[in-house]
């Protein structure tokens, strides 16, 4: 039986009755270190929340963590749910809508990705400025709940231009490069073939991964403003002689995590000062 959003929020509110975040943060593979920056954390396992379940991918802890970062209240989704694990779009919708129901207006989405550009290698952070979806279907297919968002809506500014400016500004202050690009999202869990990578480059993609896009679609539908940052963990197959493995992904995500641990708190602090309207 599918849990209602009210049932989901009733459980969360028992743990944190008065918590209202300014922003939400979704952490991809190997990026859980960012959750450790939250002060006075309140932690709830996904499996204790109606409508969610524990993920089974190494590098994803499946914890909802609420606390403050740079003095800003933040809800952190430490580990995401993937379609290739057997999670349905219902669970992904619930995970994202929790952020909005708690009162946040901003969502920062991170994820591990392979670079389709030889000059942007492992250990770098890429700012997402647009996406291409190769996921099956759409997370909003089926009856629409008008109380959540409209039936039809635009993704023209899916990755908020003002938030992108914040990331550029903070990266410059911290002294590291922040290449930008288009993210293409596939179902997985298999990595791509060389022919697929060539096709994705022809389509205009700069990085490839197995998540992010469904969450961004759900977030924009319910009025969350979005920023996306990718941990580049490998060069896509065909661009390097190094074999692409999940172990390599986690190793290089840890390197990226140290950069994001410096960048994201500063961005959240500045984003909290911007207009909260979607």
Known catalytic residues are 29, 60, 82, 84-85, 112, 210-211, 234, 246
Strands (E) located in the chain: 23-27, 39-45, 63-69, 72-78, 106-115, 125-133, 180-185, 207-209, 225-235
Q: How many CA atoms lie within 13 A of 14 on its CB side?
A: 9
Please check whether residue 100 is in contact with residue 9, taking contact to mean a CB–CB distance below 8 angstroms. no
Give the closest residue to 189 by CA, choosing from 241, 106, 272, 112. Answer: 112
- What backbone torsions phi and psi does residue 84 show, to the nearest 5 degrees? -70, -15
Cα–Cα nearest to 167, from 182, 155, 178, 157: 178
What does the alpha-carbon distance between residue 193 and residue 190 come to, in Å, rounded to a whole number? Answer: 9
Please name every residue paired with 65 in a beta bridge, in sequence order, or none if there are none: 43, 76
Phi then psi for residue 254, to 5 deg, are -65, -40
């Amino acid at each position: 039986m599918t849990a209602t959003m009210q049932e989901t929020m009733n459980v969360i509110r028992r743990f944190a009755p008065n918590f209202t975040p300014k922003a939400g943060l979704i952490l991809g593979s190997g990026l859980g270190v960012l959750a450790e920056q939250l002060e006075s954390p309140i932690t709830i396992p996904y499996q204790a929340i109606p409508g969610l379940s524990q993920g089974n991918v190494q590098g994803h802890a499946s914890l909802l963590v609420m606390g403050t970062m740079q003095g800003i209240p933040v809800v952190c989704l430490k580990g995401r749910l993937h379609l290739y694990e057997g999670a349905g779009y219902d669970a992904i919708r619930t995970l994202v809508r929790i952020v909005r129901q708690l009162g946040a207006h901003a969502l920062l989405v991170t994820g591990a990705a392979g670079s389709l550009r030889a000059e942007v290698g492992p250990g770098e952070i890429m700012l997402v400025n647009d996406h291409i979806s190769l996921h099956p279907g759409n997370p909003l297919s089926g009856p629409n709940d008008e109380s959540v968002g409209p039936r039809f809506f635009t993704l023209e500014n899916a990755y908020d231009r003002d938030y992108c400016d914040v990331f550029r500004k903070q990266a410059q202050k911290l002294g590291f490069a922040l290449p930008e690009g288009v993210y293409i999202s596939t179902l997985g869990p298999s990595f791509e073939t060389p022919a697929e990578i060539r096709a994705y480059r022809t389509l205009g993609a700069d990085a490839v991964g197995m998540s992010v896009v469904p969450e961004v679609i759900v977030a924009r539908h319910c009025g969350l403003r979005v920023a996306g940052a990718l941990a580049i963990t490998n060069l896509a197959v065909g661009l390097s002689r190094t074999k692409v493995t999940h172990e390599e992904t986690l190793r290089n995500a840890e390197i990226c995590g140290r950069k994001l641990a410096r960048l994201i708190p500063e961005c959240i602090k500045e984003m909290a000062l911007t207009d909260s309207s979607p």
